[in-house]
Amino acid sequence: MLELKAVTHIYPNGTRALDAVSLSIPKGMYGLLGPNGAGKSTLMRTVATLQTPTEGSIRFGDIDVIAQPELLRERLGYLPQDFGVYPRVSAYDMLDHMAVLKGIASARERKETVETLLNQTNLWAVRKKAIAGFSGGMRQRFGIAQALIGNPELIIVDEPTAGLDPEERNRFLNLLAEIGENVVVILSTHIVDDVADLCPRMAVLTAGRIQLEGAPLDLIHQTRGSIWAKTIERHQLDSYSDRYDVISTRLFAGRTIIHVLSSSDPQNGFTAVEGGLEDVYFSALAHARRASTATAA
C-alpha cells in the first residue's frame, strides 16, 4: 500500500504544484487522471523520490519514502513522461547496462533478467536493433522493460500512451494489465479511456488538488440521472454555456453536442444520457474551475 498524506509541493517561484494531496493506493492498477499542468508529473516525481515535497508524508509499506528514499528506489520501477535513452545502443545492451546500475552484478543473472524482459515486452526479435530505430510503441515497451528490472513492488508510468497508434496502445495496455496483477502500478494520464480500460480505482487531480477518488463504476453510478445532452449549432455554444452547466462539448457531422450537468430535466430539448467516465472526469474539472473562479472573485 502506498500512502500519501497532505503532500504539498511549492516551487521556488511560488507555484503550488501540489496542494495537500492525500491518497491510499492499493496493489493493482491505479489511475491518476488530470489535464496537462494538473500536477500529475510533479506528484509522480515526488513519489519516485526525484524531488522532496514541501510538506506532507509518503509511506510505502514500512518505508518512510521521504526519510528513506534509497529503500524505495530498490523497490521502484519508473517510466517518466520523457524517457531518454542512448539512441545508438541496442535494446539488449541497454537493458544489460541498466541491470548493472540496478545492482545485478552476476552476468548469468543479468542474462536471464534481460532475456525474460525482452520476451515479456515482445522485443526479443529486435533485441540487437538500436533503440533509435524503434517506433514510439516499441520505445514505450522498452521503457516498461527497464522499469521492471529488479522485480519492483511499485511501478509508476507517466503518460505512457500519448502519441501511440491504436494498435500499439492496445499492446501496451495489455502489458500493463499483466504487470499490474501483483504489484502497485500508478498510471498517470490525461486519457480517460486508458483508466477506464485498466484501473479498478482512480483519482482526478487538477490544479494540484484531488477532486474525487474511488472506483470508476461507483463514480459513474453517482452521475446517473444528472447528465443531459443536446445537439446545437456552434454559434449557440456561448449562450448555452451562460444558461447551463456545460461540462463537455464535441463535434459530430459539423454540429456540436453538449453535455450538461443537472439534477433535474433542464427541458429545452435536452435528453438524458447514460454518463460515462469521461462525464465524471469533465464534471470534476468543471467543479474545479467553478471553485477557482469563486475563490478569485
Starting from the edge strand earliest in sequence, which strands make up the sheet with 28-33, in order? Answer: 76-79, 154-158, 184-189, 28-33, 201-206, 209-214
Q: Where are the alpha helices (DSSP H) in the chain?
A: 40-47, 69-74, 91-101, 107-120, 136-147, 166-179, 192-198, 216-222, 237-243, 277-296
Cell representation of residue 266:
433542464
Burial tier of 297 (Cβ tally within 10 Å: 0-12, 13-18, 19+): exposed
Q: Which long-range contacts (CB under 8 A, 24 or more apart) does 36-41 make?
A: 36/190, 38/190, 38/205, 38/206, 38/207, 38/208, 39/9, 39/205, 39/206, 39/207, 39/208, 40/158, 40/159, 40/188, 40/189, 40/190, 40/205, 41/80, 41/81, 41/158, 41/159, 41/188
Which of 53, 52, 45 has the alpha carbon at shortest distance from 19?
53
Write down the architecture of domain 2-215 according to CATH.
Answer: 3-Layer(aba) Sandwich (3.40)
- Residue boundaries of the structural domains of the chain: 2-215, 221-296
pLDDT tens, the chain, 297 aa long: 999 999 999 999 999 999 999 999 999 999 999 998 899 999 999 999 999 999 999 999 999 999 999 999 999 999 887 776 667 899 999 999 999 988 898 999 999 999 999 998 889 999 999 998 888 888 888 988 999 999 999 999 988 887 788 888 888 888 888 888 889 999 999 889 889 889 999 999 999 999 999 999 999 998 888 999 999 988 899 999 999 999 999 888 878 999 999 989 999 999 999 888 999 999 888 888 777 666 665
Give pTM, 2 decimals.
Answer: 0.87
* CA 196-202-203 angle, 5° bins: 125
Residues shown for the chain: 297
